[in-house]
Structure 1
Amino acid sequence: MANSQVVSHTKITQIDFARAGEITSAMRIVAEKEGRAPEFIREGVAAGRIAIPANIHHTSLSPEGVGERLRTKVNVNLGISGDLADEQVEWEKVDIAFELGAEAIMDLSNSGKTQSFRTRLIEKSPAMIGTVPMYDAIGYLEKALISITAEDFLDVVRRHAEDGVDFVTIHAGMNRRTIESFKETGRLMNVVSRGGSLIFAWMEATGNENPFYEYYDEVLDILHEHDVTISLGDAMRPGCNYDATDAGQISELIEIGKLTKRAWDAGVQVMVEGPGHMAIDEIAANMKLEKRLCHNAPFYVLGPLVTDIAPGYDHITAAIGGAVAASSGADFLCYVTPAEHLRLPDAHDVREGLVATKIAAHAADIAKGIPGARERDARMSDARRRMDWEEQFSLAIDPVRPRKVFESAPPENEGTCTMCGKMCAVRTVNKIMDGLVIDLDNE
């Protein structure tokens, strides 16, 4: 099979070295983080089941593995927009992502010159950095969309790769065949992917094929040179439950499966992006379908959001879908904040969205039997039994909020909280087990 061949070009990427039987320092770091043998990681990378997005220019990176039988990773989206271009707020979001241990940050800045922020982020970030070069094309090139050429688009991809971006979202699966399926079958929400909509508009205006599809080999050459992982974007992802698992989504997924093998043949690591919005009973089947059609490449999903009627609470609807998706085979969750569909998220939204998504990821890891997942919960339970509040805070996904809530209403009885006070079941049974007599009236 193509994904098990040793490529003949110069060894640059993690998949190049893995196929040659060599364990890189990044593979060793991932193995240690995951509690796996280095050879387990190497075999997964060589087969394409695991990706280690690690641009050779990103020197501050602490590598992470994304893929089969590894911890579910979480991504934070941030970046300025044309309406809200406050870079300081974006750095606050970065600090929250670092504080709460997000494994990835996507800079989705889409207004003006974005390179300065991107390069400084890469310089300081231990988390892997992703971008969507299509978002940057208009600001970087200073051209109208319909005036941009295929070579222009490739130049933007090249610049992001040279800057040190670890993975790039490339919407190469939206080709003429995909668009034909979409137009024939129709949709309630049409195309909701920002990058996908721009490519669709460019294709319709120029009459040309998707440049990222037509010149896919050239894109792969650029990515291979810098070891940038390609995240094959789902331009036709459903933007509402009504459109989930339709002809547009599935026809694009078929194309992405073909593109996955071509990337592996070129020595480029692959992740595949997925929906979107989807009813809860469709999620597991979609995860299995992606793994089958895309040859077990790591799957990166946004949500999915399991209902469309909870604006302001979409971090919850996405976390529900994310837990189901990850427990059914998804490897990487993109967070969703309470501001989804409403505005650019602020720092508070980022914290809320990231915590919700990390809960979903951890819940899925328990279900998948990931090493160490259940053990952390057991340590929390033991700390609760011993009423060791400091240890409980330290084990929490977000240590800040539980401390703040607990200290906002101090209990009269040491070791308890104001929910039960001296009638705390844990306190009562602890005393009985220690041979003490319980006398609530005199305590």
Structure 2
Amino acid sequence: MTPTLIQGVHKGKVSSAVNSIAASEGFSPEYVQECIGSGSIVIMQRDGHYTGIGKGLRTKINVNLGTSSSKVCLDDEIKKAQIAEKFGADTISDLSMGGDIDRIRKTIFSSTSLPITTVPVYQTVSEIGLKKMTADDILETVRSHAEEGMSSLVIHTVTSAMLAQIRKRKRILGVVSKGGSITSAFMAINECENPFIEHFDTILHICQDHDIVLSLGNTARSGCINDQRDMLQRMEEKNNVYLAEKAHAAGVQVIIEGAGGHIRLDRIAPMIRRYKKMADFPLFVAGPLPTDIGVGYDHIAGCAGASTASAAGADYLCYITPAEHLGLPTVDAVKEGLIAFRIAAHIGDTVKSGVMAEDRSVAMLRSVLDREGQVRCAIDPERASSLSDGEPECTMCGDFCAIKIIQELQ
């Protein structure tokens, strides 16, 4: 059997993936190797395309797309995948739950070169049903996705003890994780342990065979800022760290999802730091949203929360679109959400990594009133150009431009 990336590193092998990430992120191959060996960096691989996530690396952005049980338009999902790649997403998650899911996934896969993540239980429950599906059905979907070349798979690791906490209904919004709620309901209906935990070794073997990054889902994330950190979250943190260590020991790269959902702003950084103190595995954060009133503008609220999370040490952000809580996002909404979270990631990187060269370039161009140069350096040049009034100079201040006034004074 071909060794996994971790197993290769432990044997002293410097792979093309390691060299690629070292070159693109500005680190030595030895640093990247050391971090892969400790589990603090993972590399998603797809046909020679590598995305490094973790310690010291640029904060990465994931774009969710895919059909729902009530809205299926393959053309839209293809466009979303293309927009995601064009505007700088690092990975894509296909969360399709409606239509011909196999065909949709394969079409999205062929429409982009980015690494693709899936949540296999979504397809299982969509096609077989919550009351009819079995643990074998779930494992078969996991195996099928792995064989198709997915770069990462998500499982939710709810335990029986966590399920008991969920049933106490102490939160305003109980479990807002779709995968977590499906897994919990499966356990309750069948009066069984979580199949992802019961068959964890089998899942690790599948991930080993295909060198897939295993992502441990965030079932316990809060659904509103009034639902504070609780016993359910503490139990999930401890359980996910334990399973991550087991996966890493088996040579499987692993990411922990946590500190996502809705969290009051002042609580975000302490929560991120708590996770990073517990374990050095890459931390994947959905959002977080620091307010519940931004409906229709949740990508903006999410940018505020995500920049705080990134600055505090989050390695990987899952974007939020303006359609969050409202409906399946349009192509335009996907772009808006992605740009907002690219800004958030960059803000975080200026703090945790001191990455400010791009900001300095824009500032220097601004200091000489080079508006076209600023537009070229913008994160979205098309958008910046469209807001320039079509005039040769900025029309905000006219004759009373502060920069001009001070230049003349000097």
Q: TM-score range by the shorter chain?
A: over 0.9
Shift in CA distance, 11/289, structure 1 to aligned 2, threshold 3 Å = farther
The offset of 1:245, in angstroms, is 1.1
Partner SS, residue 173 of structure 2: coil
The one-letter code of the counterpart of 2:59 is T
1:12-40, Cα deviation, whole Å (9 max, x unpaired): 32212122221211111111111111111
Aligned with residue 11 of structure 2, among 20, 39, 43: 20
Match of 2:145 in 1: 160
- Do structure 1's residue 30 and structure 2's residue 21 form an aligned pair? yes
Matched ranges for 1:202-217 at <5 A: 202-217=186-201
Match of 1:134 in 2: 121
The one-letter code of the counterpart of 1:238 is S
Equivalenced residue count is 409
Distance 1:214 1:244 in 2: 30
Matched ranges for 1:361-372 at <5 A: 361-370=345-354
The offset of 1:431, in angstroms, is 5.6
Unaligned runs of 5+ in 1: 1-9, 434-443
Distance 1:69 1:31 in 2: 11
Aligned with residue 379 of structure 1, among 353, 361, 385: 361
Q: Aligned residues: percent identity?
A: 39
Distance 2:400 2:73 in 1: 50
Aligned with residue 63 of structure 2, among 63, 76, 81: 76
The question of whether the paired residues in 2 share the 8 Å contact of 1:244 and 1:277 is answered with no
The question of whether the paired residues in 1 share the 8 Å contact of 2:82 and 2:111 is answered with no
Aligned with residue 86 of structure 1, among 59, 73, 76: 73
- Do structure 1's residue 45 and structure 2's residue 32 form an aligned pair? no
Match of 2:84 in 1: 97
1:16-70, Cα deviation, whole Å (9 max, x unpaired): 212222121111111111111111111111100001012xxx32x5211100111
The offset of 1:429, in angstroms, is 4.3
Distance 2:241 2:218 in 1: 12
The offset of 1:430, in angstroms, is 4.6
The question of whether the paired residues in 1 share the 8 Å contact of 2:285 and 2:317 is answered with yes
Using structure 1 for the length normalisation, give the TM-score. 0.89
Distance 1:288 1:253 in 2: 13
Match of 2:324 in 1: 340
Match of 1:400 in 2: 382
Distance 2:129 2:308 in 1: 41
Matched ranges for 1:138-217 at <5 A: 138-139=125-126, 142-172=127-157, 174-184=158-168, 186-217=170-201
The offset of 1:11, in angstroms, is 4.3
Partner SS, residue 379 of structure 1: helix
Distance 2:24 2:292 in 1: 37
Match of 1:269 in 2: 253
The offset of 1:94, in angstroms, is 1.3
1:319-358, Cα deviation, whole Å (9 max, x unpaired): 1111111111100010001110011110111111111111
Distance 1:361 1:307 in 2: 19
Match of 1:391 in 2: 373
Which structure's CA Rg is the greater one? 1
The one-letter code of the counterpart of 2:241 is G
Partner SS, residue 336 of structure 1: coil
Match of 1:107 in 2: 94
The more displaced of 114-123 and 355-364 is 114-123
The offset of 1:285, in angstroms, is 1.5
1:126-151, Cα deviation, whole Å (9 max, x unpaired): 32211111111134xx4232221111
The one-letter code of the counterpart of 1:122 is F
1:101-137, Cα deviation, whole Å (9 max, x unpaired): 1001111111133122222333342322111111111
Partner SS, residue 242 of structure 1: coil
The question of whether the paired residues in 1 share the 8 Å contact of 2:72 and 2:99 is answered with no
1:186-236, Cα deviation, whole Å (9 max, x unpaired): 221111111111111111111011100111110111011101101100112
Match of 2:264 in 1: 279
- Do structure 1's residue 421 and structure 2's residue 398 form an aligned pair? yes
The one-letter code of the counterpart of 1:125 is T
Shift in CA distance, 112/154, structure 1 to aligned 2, threshold 3 Å = same
Using structure 2 for the length normalisation, give the TM-score. 0.96
- Do structure 1's residue 222 and structure 2's residue 209 form an aligned pair? no
The offset of 1:248, in angstroms, is 0.9
Distance 1:420 1:410 in 2: 15
